[in-house]
Amino acid sequence: MVRVGQPLRRNRDETVLVHTRRHAKALFWPVVVGFIGIVGAAALLGLMPTAMRTQYWPIVAALAATIVIIGTVVPWLTWFTTTMTITDRRVMLRHGVVVRRGHDIMVDSLVDVSWQAGISDRMMGCGRLILTSASDQMVLNDVPGPRRIADLLAELTDGEYAGYGGYLDDDDISVTAR
């Protein structure tokens, strides 16, 4: 199971079944933006006359650094600090870089568990998971293995969960023994 930073705070009798982040496909466009920022700055400096380049290179470098920070580093930090954890009692979403926020839904209160996956999502093994309770709805985008997680939540809400003695993680969304 992937654990980064502080250990998960939960009741001692709760069992962690899934602990994951959004699928890495969420980082595709931020990487493209960073690449374009660096390559664009290099191309701009390469096309400038030498006299102009010596005068304006700090401005071009600052612009490229701003593009990389805003377009790549901030989305990566957001992805890195957003986690979804499913225990045998609740579904927890934690996110935030500076201010941490959490959203919990008790498994017993779930009314509907549904998932969606487009063509590209199915090719990458991810999708959207929609959890609905009587008073709340949680939409989780780019969840690895959404159908498997939806099946697991359906088993938990039906009381048919057999207690696999394992957990699911974002490296292999399948039941593994501890």
7 within 8 A of 84, measured Cβ to Cβ:
no
pLDDT band at 38 (very low <50, low <70, confident <90, very high): very high
Q: pTM of the prediction?
A: 0.75
Residue 19 parent element (H or E): strand 16-20
The answer, yes or no, to whether residue 4 has pLDDT greater than 50, is no
The percent of residues above 70 in pLDDT, for the chain, comes to 82
**Averaged pLDDT, 18-42:** 94
pLDDT of residue 56: 93
Distance (Å, whole) CA 13 – CA 115: 28
Amino acid in the structure at residue 150: A
Distance (Å, whole) CA 24 – CA 80: 10
Listed residue (21, 20, 60, 56) closest to 41, CA to CA: 60
The answer, yes or no, to whether residue 178 has pLDDT greater than 90, is no
Distance (Å, whole) CA 176 – CA 178: 7
Q: Which residues contact 133 (CB under 8 A, 6 or more apart)?
A: 105, 106, 109, 110, 111
Give residue-wise pLDDT tens across range 108-167.
Answer: 889 999 999 999 999 999 999 999 998 889 999 999 999 999 999 888 887 665 555 444
**Averaged pLDDT, 8-22:** 77
